[in-house]
Amino acid sequence: MKNQELVKIFSEIAIFLEMDDIAFRPQAYEKAALALEALEQDVAQIYQKEGVAGLKKIPGVGETLAERIEEYLKTGQIKYYRELRKKMPVDLAGLLAVEGIGPKTIKELYLRLGIKNPKDLERAARAGKIRALANFGEKTEKNILQGLEFLRRQSGRFLLGEILPETEEMMLKLRELKEVERISLAGSLRRRKETIGDADILVVSQNPRKVVDFFVTLPGVVKVWGQGTTKASIRLRRGIDIDLRIVPRESYGAALQYFTGSKEHNILTRKLALEKGLKLNEYGLFRGRRMIASQSEEDVYRALGLPLIEPELRENQGEIQAAQRGQLPRIIGYGEIQGDLHCHSDWDGGRNTILEMARAAQKRGYHYLGISDHTQFLKIERGLDERQLLRQRKEIDKLNAKFYRFQILQGCEANILNDGSIDIKDSALAKLDFVIAGVHSSLKMAKAEMTRRLIRATRNPHVDIISHPTGRLLQRRDEYQIDFDSILRAARETKTVLEINASPERLDLKDANIRRAGESGVKMVISTDSHAKEQMKFIDLGIAQARRGWAEPADIINCWPLARLRGFFKP
Ligand code: DGT
Ligand code: CA
Ligand code: CA
């Protein structure tokens, strides 16, 4: 249908006219665009049957606009529009999508700085060229950058840590409806991928229409992309999209298996079904017309000759073959962490006291907590020097005397300096229960140099753990240049532990590296790096990452009881 193309052209003409401060005509084009958008018949057919007279019956379309439509239908273009574009060859839709940018601004930015699209806009804003313009100023420039950043988030993927709680909140509301019999996450969110395109929720109900109606009107829904009898798709604030699907009880297992994905994993399960003369889809596993499995995922996998494969493993990384051979790992469970070893207290600028952190750890059911405040090198975070560490030791001893079945360990997060040495004396490190060391400066070293730096740190006789070993920040900063295999070798030789940092924007190590570490016999620790007690909950993100990396409890030192841990740390 040509309708949509004409909608776009008329809307853009309206914007071009607005740029030139022309009265009334922009509104005329805008109105016609709206009418065409709502029109159910095809304009080309209207024209074919009734000619220009037919076009003029469309609300808002008068003599001139009817002629323009005729011109477009006959020649495939509108000369008037082409000339306007030639005068101002900019990506209108792209620029208008940036919060705070209107037609007048676009014109000025094009005429003065030659800005044609969001990319040009970003470059100019970063170079400080916009604030230099007469009517703009520094604040506008900052707003433009913020608008661009927001747009990027909207069009891009979301961090697991930001989309999971929002989706779980929506699930809680859905659960309140009595028509909802069962509910589960699906898609990449159920697989706990580190970034998520959209959230998927699967519901079992005998009354899907009711569930859909309830879902699309929930508070927080800012847009309904689509709504049918058994599915709906909505947007929340901040651009988070959720797909909801509703299935009958009998199909739950097959539907969950299908909508959990990954697509690549599903291709393999379907192929396996075919090899057995079966057919697998979202409704069930079939032999001919007969459904042989569909109620639970276990049933589906069993009928394929497989044990249940955990969602975090369904990424076509060899999990099907491993399952066939009975060699799936017994991956770490969400409740198996015994304590958090990387937590900061108010001694180094964290928000809570040591005791508050300890209480929070106890509340989580932990048996130990490692306080690992920054050391002196990091001036911004008020790092501790040797004397302060000694004082802190005394305070921790005092607190420990009062605990039952719970202990605070004193560690620190020391800095790995450029040459791989540690920013605090060995004699001071020796007095701690354990030592974490991490890179916090000169992150952009050449590969060989950075690798040497980290290896030297693992060789320090007191360093037990390397924090956030690859230094990445999700969607913001790449990993350091390092030869990870060499690091793994050094870690194994020196019995140094690599951290799986669970903070939502790090998740470092990443899944593939966790798997390599596990295969090389390198031990890992899952830590939240909490600077406030509320952040301890991020442990689940780290566990998810460990599961995606096929890690078993034996690989993760904070799944171990305290006595084993103490015996494992370097003296
Ligand atoms: P995302 O949203 O990009 O983070 O990744 P997913 O895995 O959540 O992908 P999504 O939301 O497009 O689809 C959810 C699941 O539904 C996906 O993991 C597997 C299933 N699925 C969707 N489309 C297809 C398809 O065309 N073929 C197959 N086999 N499965 C599909
Ligand atoms: Ca998804
Ligand atoms: Ca989806």
Q: What is the mean pLDDT of residues 406-419?
A: 97
Instruction: Examine the domain organization and report whether 125 and 268 are in the same domain.
Output: no
308: containing domain: 251-328
Question: Can you give the CATH number for the domain in which 295 is found?
Answer: 3.30.210.10
Centre of ligand 1 to C-alpha 429, Å, is 49
Residue 242 CA to ligand 1 centre (angstroms) = 13
67 closest CA partner among 85, 84, 83, 81: 81
Distance CA 187, CA 245 (A): 11
Can you spell out the DSSP letters for 251-320?
Answer: GHHHHHHHHH--HHHHHHHHHHHHHTT-EEETTEEEETTEEEE-SSHHHHHHHTT-PPPPGGG-SSSSHH
pLDDT of 394 > 60? The answer is: yes
Residue nearest to atom 24 of ligand 1 (CA): 263
Q: Which helix (H) or strand (E) holds 540?
A: helix 539-548
Atom of ligand 1 nearest to the CA of 261: 18
Residue 379: pLDDT band by 50, 70, 90 thresholds?
A: low
Task: State if residue 200 touches ligand 1 by the CB under 6 angstroms criterion.
Answer: yes
What total number of domains does the chain contain? Answer: 4
Ligand 1 pocket member 205 (CB < 6 A): no
Question: Strand, helix or coil at 226?
Answer: strand
- Spacing, Cα 176 to ligand 3 middle (Å): 23
Q: Are residues 366 and 281 in the same domain?
A: no
What is the best residue among 234, 263, 309 to mutate for testing ligand 1's pocket, by most ligand atoms within 8 Å of CB? 263
Confidence grade of residue 155 (pLDDT, cut at 50, 70, 90): low
Atom 31 (ligand 1): residue with closest C-alpha? Answer: 263
Q: For residue 199, how far is its CA from the centre of ligand 2 (angstroms)? A: 5
Q: Is the predicted pLDDT of residue 176 greater than 80, yes or no?
A: yes
- Does the beta carbon of 198 sit less than 6 angstroms from any atom of ligand 1? yes
pTM of the shown model: 0.77
On average, the pLDDT of the chain sits at: 94
Q: Which atom of ligand 1 is nearest to the CA of 191?
A: 7
**Does the CB atom of residue 158 touch ligand 1 within 6 A?**
no
Residues 441 and 562 in one domain: yes
Contact 108, 18 (CB under 8 A): no
Nearest-ligand number for the alpha carbon of 157: 1
Residues 74 and 124 both lie in one domain = yes
CA-nearest residue for atom 27, ligand 1, is 263
Q: What is the pLDDT of residue 378?
A: 59
* 385 domain-assigned: yes
Report the separation in Å between the CA atom of 184 and the middle of ligand 2, taken as the mean of its atom positions: 13
Model pLDDT for residues 14-45, shown as the tens digit of each residue: 999 999 988 889 999 999 998 998 888 899 99
pLDDT given at position 448:
97
Pocket-testing residue among 155, 160, 185, 188, ligand 1, by greatest number of atoms within 8 A of Cβ:
188
* Whether 481 and 555 share a structural domain: yes
Three-class secondary structure assignment of 386-444: HHHHHHHHHHHHHHHCCCCCCEEEECCEEEECCCCCECCCHHHHCCCCCCEEECCCCCC
State the average pLDDT over residues 53-68: 95
Provide mean pLDDT across the span 67-72: 97
**Do residues 111 and 217 both lie within one domain?**
no
pLDDT computed for residue 429 by the predictor? 96
Residue 29 lies in a domain: no
Looking at the fold, whether 117 and 211 belong to one and the same domain comes out as no
Residues 383 and 522 in one domain: yes
pLDDT for 516 beyond 80: yes
Q: With bands split at pLDDT 50, 70 and 90, how would you rate the model's confidence at 357? A: very high
Residues 441 and 505 occupy one common structural domain: yes
Closest ligand 1 atom, CA of 189? 8
User: Ligand 2 centre and the CA of 187: distance in Å?
Assistant: 5
Residues 460, 7: Cα–Cα separation, whole Å: 68
Residue 380 pLDDT more than 60?
A: no
Highest mean pLDDT among 99-113, 152-166, 264-278: 264-278
Ligand 1 pocket check for 47: Cβ under 6 Å? no
Classify residue 346 by its DSSP letter: G
| Residue 167 CA, ligand 2 centroid: distance in Å | 12
Q: Which residue has the tokens 């490692």?
A: 370
Ligand 1 site-directed mutation target among 200, 260, 283, 475, most atoms within 8 Å of CB: 200
Question: The domain that contains 514 carries what CATH number?
Answer: 3.20.20.140
Nearest Cα residue to 221 out of 248, 199, 249: 199
**pLDDT of 376:** 84
Average of per-residue pLDDT across 428-450 = 95
Answer whether residue 377 is part of any domain: yes
Q: How many Cα atoms are found within 13 Å in the side-chain-facing hemisphere of 358?
A: 20
Q: Which residue among 196, 220, 247 closes a domain?
A: 247
Could you report the per-residue pLDDT of 547-560, keeping only the tens digit for each? Answer: 999 999 999 999 99
Average pLDDT of the segment spanning 521-536: 97
Ligand 1 contact via 255 beta carbon (within 6 Å): no
Percentage of the chain modeled with pLDDT above 70: 98
Q: What pLDDT digit, counting tens, does each position of 451-507 carry? A: 999 999 999 999 999 999 999 988 777 889 999 999 999 999 999 999 999 999 999
Distance 198 CA to ligand 1 centre (A): 10
Domain identity same for 302 and 208: no
Of 220, 247, 274, the residue at which a domain comes to its end is 247
Q: Write out the H or E segment, with its range, that includes residue 5.
A: helix 3-19
Residue 94 CB less than 6 A away from ligand 1: no
Asked if residue 374 and residue 350 are part of one domain, the reply reads yes
For 285-308, write each residue's pLDDT tens digit.
999 999 999 999 999 999 999 999
Q: Which of 303, 328, 353 is the last residue of a domain?
A: 328
CATH number for the domain spanning 94: value is 1.10.150.20
| Minimal-distance CA residue to ligand 1 atom 18 | 261
Tokens 């929002």, residue located: 166
Cβ of 266 below 6 Å from ligand 1: yes
CB-proximal residues (5 Å) to ion ligand 2: 187-188, 198, 200
Position 93 scores a pLDDT of 87
CB of 311 closer than 6 A to ligand 1?
no
Whether the CB of 233 sits within 6 Å of ligand 1: no
My answer on whether 210 and 278 are in the same domain is no
- Give yes or no for residue 399 having a pLDDT over 80: yes
Which protein residue has the closest C-alpha to ligand 1 atom 28? 263
Q: What is the predicted pLDDT for the residue at 154?
A: 59
